[in-house]
Amino acid sequence: MSNSHQSLFDRFAENIQPDSKWAILLLEESSRQSDWQKARDLLQKITADSPVYDIVRRDYPALIIFRLSPEHLREVVLKLTEHGYNRLKAINAQM
């Protein structure tokens, strides 16, 4: 597929680089009910830390890159999926 036809999420998902310290989670809002702030709050509950993140696109659908401890990645992905988030990509260089 040509890069000009890919979504911003797809372009970032193809080019995101693993980090030796953090697990990386790329998340795009899939509905207005599943906004990125709710995802951030869910990550905070799971990890008991304030999430480290970069906002790639603030407008809907927002695109956010979260960085979290690798040991939390599986649970975070499961919980986000259970809460309706389905546009995400997780990368853990330690696995």
Question: Which residue ranges form the domains of the chain, and what is each CATH number?
Answer: 16-91 (3.30.70.2190)
**Residues of 54-84 as b/e, b for ≥16 C-beta within 10 angstroms?**
eeeeeeebbbbbbebebebbeebbebbeeee
Return the number of other C-beta atoms located less than 10 Å from residue 52's C-beta. Answer: 13
pTM reported for the whole predicted model: 0.87
Pull the structure tokens for residue 5: 């036809």
pLDDT per residue, tens digit, the chain (95 aa), is 455 678 999 999 999 988 889 999 999 998 888 889 999 999 999 999 888 999 999 999 999 999 999 999 999 999 999 999 999 999 997 76
